[in-house]
Structure 1
Amino acid sequence: MDNNLLILAGISLITIFVTYLLTKQSVNKKVGQYKSIDEALTKSKKAQEALKEAIAAAEKELCRINAETANLQALKGQDDSLKTSIQEQQASFQKAQNSLNELIESIDQNEDKLNELMSSIDLYSRLDEYTTHGHFEMPEYLYETSNRYVSEIKDIRQQQKEMIKEKTAITFPESTIISNDNAFNKKILNGQVKLMLTAFNVECDMLIAKVSPSSFDRTLERIEKLANNLEKSAATLECGFDIDYIELKFEECKLQYQYILKKQEEIIEQKLIKEQIREEQRAIKEFEKAIAEAEKEEKMYRNLLDKARGELSKATDQERIEMEQKIAILEQQLAEAETKEERAKSMAEQTRKGHVYVISNIGSFGEDVYKIGLTRRLEPMDRVKELGDASVPFSFDVHAMIFTDDAPALESALHREFHRQRVNAVNTRKEFFNVDLVEIQEAVNKISGIEAEFKMTALAEDYHESLRLTATA
């Protein structure tokens, strides 16, 4: 133990000695580099100061690195919460996207329903006045003739011209300040007024000229919107339309709309009159033909009867019996021919006599739709067959065939009675009505005083057979 300590002590002394020698050698070497100790101390101080500056810069950089490290650690700490927040936002966005898709789909469905609803109604009629066939109701006319409407429209337009002439169509300030030149200011103001009136009147003329039953309400709205837009464009100059002038435009639009319908109605009435004249002429020709045929038939039976009576005096007893029977038949045929001739002559003298018919066609028009018309033909069923052969897939069922001395009057009265039930409210030549058959029977009895016989059941044989064949096919 002691020997080991001695050995270690010796080794330490040797190490110290060697280190001393080396240090001394290094110092002597460095001392040799400098001219004096002061120079060595000066350079050492400079080196020390540079080292201090480097240490200070290193400490500053270390502080910056520590601060960034702290921020990074803070951000890393927030990373999980940010990820969670992003995931929640993504889930919320997906949910909102799904809701938006559902809302868009709902909007598309509602738009389809709205379009379907709008296509089945007319904008001019009130909701409770729509017919099942989509036609608008005729308005309550202000005047009786289209010429009266033309006169009233001219009067309305004259009132508009007077307002323009008197400078009351548009309200505007007496003066406006744009520049120091009053004449220039007035010129600008007058130009703005003229521009507004020109634009408004030209656009209104175009809108009113195209007005129709389906666009009447929209036309009034567009006139009002046009006036508002023009007023907004001139708001800086405080120019605006007088309400009386706008109301005159509304009145002109209303009159023009009713004028168009009244004109159409008059054209249809003229066509009806011409058709009635043609029908009467056709009926007269039929009566004249029937009279000629009846006279010819009567002459033939008279000749046969005279011949038979002449032969009767020469006949035997057996032949006499046969001849008497033949004469009786000829006398009956002659009486029928005379009756037929008298009836044809009577109807020819009174062309207003005829048959008012009530017919239906379920296969073509559906149930509770009836045609109410008249015919002056000697065989009224010919007219019904003619209608069935025209352009409908099935023949008509006859519910009533009413003979009257004034068929046009009865027909017109029934048409007025069921005017609001017309299937086609525009063309009054279309004599179809959506009404119950019992109501028609009651109206006929009330108007004519005739207890008319009605067949309440529509056979519609071809239609029902067609349904059966289609179902079994």
Structure 2
Amino acid sequence: MTGGQIFALVCIVGFPVWALIGTYLAWKQVRRRKIAEASVKAMEEKYASIVSEEAELQRLRDVANSVSQDISNLRSSYNEKKAIFDRLVKEVAIFDEKLAFAEMGVYEPHFDYTDSEQYKQAILDNRETQKRMVSNKSAAVARTEWTVSGSKAKGQTMNNRNVKLALRAFNNECDAAVANVRWNNANAMEKRIVNARQQIDNLNATNDIHITDEYLRQKLVELQLTHEYREKLKAEREERAEMARAAREEQKFLRDMERAEEEEDRYQRLLEKARSDASKAAADQIGAYNEKIQLLEKDLADAHAKFERAQAMAEKTRSGYVYIISNIGSFGEEVVKIGLTRRLDPADRVRELGDASVPFVFDTHAIIYSDDAPALERALHNEFQKTRINAQNFRKEFFRVSIDEVEQAVGRLAPGAPFFKDVEAQEYRETLARRNAMLAAVEPPELLAFPEAI
């Protein structure tokens, strides 16, 4: 076959292939154009509401401004509601003792009378002043002269009745506040009286009747005097109890002195008898009698020293012992009590403090004798005044301070006084050991070996 024939054959066979390729390319182009048209149509449908870019931007700005205004309105509304809430909390606190104490704080005294009788007389004088104000019509005033049915007299009668009603309502509120005032609501009761006056004046605004500022002040003074009078009575009761305790301690101290004197006399008689018997004893018994006489002489010397110490303390009313004790089982670590006793044996006072009123006995760190024990006690108290646990009642002599700090203070204020830093706490530690042993007996062995598995 010649070359021309071959070429002709290829052309004949290849024509359908090229036709198919051309058809495929044309179909693909048409499909691509349809997809593009569909996409454009979808975009047009999606953003059909947008007339122009400027209009859409303005719409978005309007939406943003609306949201910003809504936020501003919410904040303003929140602030208004928060102010109302705070006001209601304060009003509720006036009638709730726990809230009152938390919201209004501790009452500060307004008067400095020395005893309850002065407070009592001041209360009587205050009530007489209130009666005079009511009598001369200066407790509440009607500022408008009304005319009823053309009669000023009837209008005055109406004013007088309304004034009496206002005063009766106000006095009842004040009497209730005075009757219920206590240490934790005194400030709230003052607010209650002020609010009662305001509410009664608001109710009488139409009649133009008002409770005077001076009458309100007298009622507040009555409340304050009554509260402080009751607190003074309580303090005086505590003082009398402390004086009675001191008197009992003094009587016990005198009895200890008498017992010391009796003990000295007894040893003196025994010693004289032993010497008399020794003078009559045989030679082989002299050694035993001499030994007995030496023991009696030592006991007599101790008894004499004890009596002289008791007698000296009786003559020096300011002499005594300052003790420093702790009780970690009852009060925890770094809590000490610094007190004073005039007992002949100061350890009696420590044992008395560790009686059934506390779970464990006290550990003694120092017992310091001083010719001016109250001054030494006061100096130690001042040293740790900021750490006093009960800042209201100074007869509660507990301080939150470390043993090292107390030792340093004792070294400065009472040089040479013995001080023991060890905290034995025997009963407390034995209790812990017993409790741990009981837990170990109850817990499964694997839990004790691997506590992290609990």
**Structure having greater relative contact order (Cα 8 Å, sep ≥ 6):** 1
1:315 counterpart residue number: 283
1:385 counterpart residue number: 351
Say whether residues 1:292 and 2:262 are aligned partners.
Answer: yes
1:202 counterpart residue number: 172
Aligned residues with identical type, % of pairs: 39
Report the alpha carbon displacement of residue 193 of structure 1 after superposing the two structures with TM.
0.7
> Size of the alignment, in residue pairs?
345
**Structure 1 counterpart SS, 2:369:** strand
Preserved contact between residue 353 and residue 376 of structure 1 (Cα < 8 Å): yes
Q: Which amino acid aligns with 2:155?
A: N
Cα distance in 1 for residues equivalent to 2:415 and 2:233: 36
Q: Which amino acid aligns with 1:463?
A: Y
1:273 counterpart residue number: 243
Preserved contact between residue 354 and residue 361 of structure 2 (Cα < 8 Å): yes
Gap change, CA 1:199 and 1:442, over 3 Å in 2: farther
Alignment of 1:182-261 (within 5 A): 182-261=152-231
Preserved contact between residue 322 and residue 339 of structure 2 (Cα < 8 Å): yes
Q: Which amino acid aligns with 1:396?
A: F
**Structure 2 counterpart SS, 1:212:** coil
1:371 counterpart residue number: 337
Cα distance in 2 for residues equivalent to 1:176 and 1:121: 42
Q: Which amino acid aligns with 2:365?
A: H
Say whether residues 1:463 and 2:407 are aligned partners.
Answer: no
What does the per-residue CA deviation read over 1:151-195, in whole Å, with 9 as the maximum and x for residues that have no partner?
222232233223222322223224024542221111111111111
Structure 1 unmatched runs, 5+: 1-106, 127-135
Preserved contact between residue 441 and residue 452 of structure 1 (Cα < 8 Å): no
Cα distance in 2 for residues equivalent to 1:139 and 1:224: 19
Preserved contact between residue 422 and residue 431 of structure 1 (Cα < 8 Å): yes
Alignment of 1:155-194 (within 5 A): 155-194=125-164
- Counterpart among 353, 356, 359 of residue 322 in structure 2: 356
1:103 counterpart residue number: none
Cα distance in 1 for residues equivalent to 2:165 and 2:338: 56
Cα distance in 2 for residues equivalent to 1:206 and 1:266: 26
Report the alpha carbon displacement of residue 332 of structure 1 after superposing the two structures with TM.
3.5
What does the per-residue CA deviation read over 1:117-143, in whole Å, with 9 as the maximum and x for residues that have no partner?
x969944875xxxxxxxxx68857522
Gap change, CA 1:287 and 1:320, over 3 Å in 2: closer
**Structure 2 counterpart SS, 1:213:** coil
Say whether residues 1:339 and 2:309 are aligned partners.
Answer: no
Point out the structure with max Rg over C-alpha: 1
Cα distance in 2 for residues equivalent to 1:452 and 1:380: 15
Gap change, CA 1:154 and 1:414, over 3 Å in 2: farther
Q: Which amino acid aligns with 1:194?
A: K
Give the stretch that moved more between structures: 175-184 or 418-427: 418-427
Report the alpha carbon displacement of residue 236 of structure 1 after superposing the two structures with TM.
0.5
Report the alpha carbon displacement of residue 377 of structure 1 after superposing the two structures with TM.
2.7
- TM (normalized to structure 2)? 0.65
Report the alpha carbon displacement of residue 376 of structure 1 after superposing the two structures with TM.
2.8
Preserved contact between residue 356 and residue 401 of structure 1 (Cα < 8 Å): yes
Q: Which amino acid aligns with 1:402?
A: I
Give the stretch that moved more between structures: 212-221 or 463-472: 463-472
Cα distance in 1 for residues equivalent to 2:151 and 2:124: 41
Q: Which amino acid aligns with 1:382?
A: D
**Structure 2 counterpart SS, 1:370:** strand
Cα distance in 1 for residues equivalent to 2:262 and 2:237: 37
Preserved contact between residue 107 and residue 187 of structure 2 (Cα < 8 Å): no
**Structure 1 counterpart SS, 2:220:** helix
Report the alpha carbon displacement of residue 410 of structure 1 after superposing the two structures with TM.
4.8
Q: Which amino acid aligns with 2:306?
A: K
Report the alpha carbon displacement of residue 379 of structure 1 after superposing the two structures with TM.
2.1
Q: Which amino acid aligns with 2:271?
A: Y
Gap change, CA 1:279 and 1:153, over 3 Å in 2: same
Gap change, CA 1:169 and 1:400, over 3 Å in 2: same
Structure 2 unmatched runs, 5+: 1-84, 440-454
1:68 counterpart residue number: none
Preserved contact between residue 362 and residue 460 of structure 1 (Cα < 8 Å): yes
Preserved contact between residue 168 and residue 242 of structure 1 (Cα < 8 Å): yes
Preserved contact between residue 305 and residue 331 of structure 1 (Cα < 8 Å): no
- TM (normalized to structure 1)? 0.63
Say whether residues 1:145 and 2:124 are aligned partners.
Answer: no
2:252 counterpart residue number: 282
Preserved contact between residue 352 and residue 408 of structure 1 (Cα < 8 Å): yes
Preserved contact between residue 147 and residue 153 of structure 2 (Cα < 8 Å): no
Q: Which amino acid aligns with 1:241?
A: I
**Structure 2 counterpart SS, 1:390:** coil
Give the stretch that moved more between structures: 425-434 or 231-240: 425-434
Report the alpha carbon displacement of residue 208 of structure 1 after superposing the two structures with TM.
1.0
